Amino acid sequence: MDLIIGGAYQGKLDYAKKRYGLDDGDICTCTESDGISFGHRCIYRTEEFVMWCIRSGKDAVEFLEQHKEEWKDSVFICEDMFCGVVPLGADMRAWREMTGRTCSYLSSEAVNVIRIFCGLEQVLKCG
């Protein structure tokens, strides 16, 4: 499993498509309302999966651990949302906190971790 992280609109998905030769059918785009669908080569918008977890009272890391076999060869893409001020809203705070834990968990499980900055790759972990 690989993890691609970076701020909004930095070109994370474009990078993943190129690096792994993905087409649209390979990509699961997570949403706040429907969560995640395993079995895809690429899990995009991991932060929205985390929001779905919050809305449905689940812990994202526990949920991922339970389904590890289904995503162990996938590429996760997650937005880096950790550099702003602490959000005022409790649900935004919970979202940021759980997304942070999820990224740290995925990062520790990942073979490669790549940060995308303005479309350029920065290798953070190379397996």
Partner 1 sequence: MTIFISGGNKNGKSGYAQDAAVKLAGGGKLYYVATMIPYDDEDRTRIERHIENRAGMGFETLEAGRDIQKVFDSADESGTFLVDSTTALLLNEMFPNSHSEKADENAAQRCISGLLEIARRAKNAVFVSDYIYSDAARYDEFTEEYRKSLASIDRALAQACDTVIEVCAGNLIVHKGQLP
The footprint of partner 1 (CB under 8 A) covers 6-11, 79-85, 87, 92-93, 95-96, 99, 117-120, 122
Residue with Cβ nearer partner 1 (2 or 48): 48
- DSSP secondary structure string for all residues of 1-60: -EEEEESTTSSHHHHHHHHHT--GGGEEE-BTTTB---SSSEEE-HHHHHHHHHHTT--H
Q: How far is the CB of 45 from partner 1 (least distance, A)?
A: 13
Q: How far is the CB of 85 from partner 1 (least distance, A)?
A: 7
Residue with Cβ nearer partner 1 (70 or 105): 105
CA–CA separation, 109 vs 99, rounded Å? 15
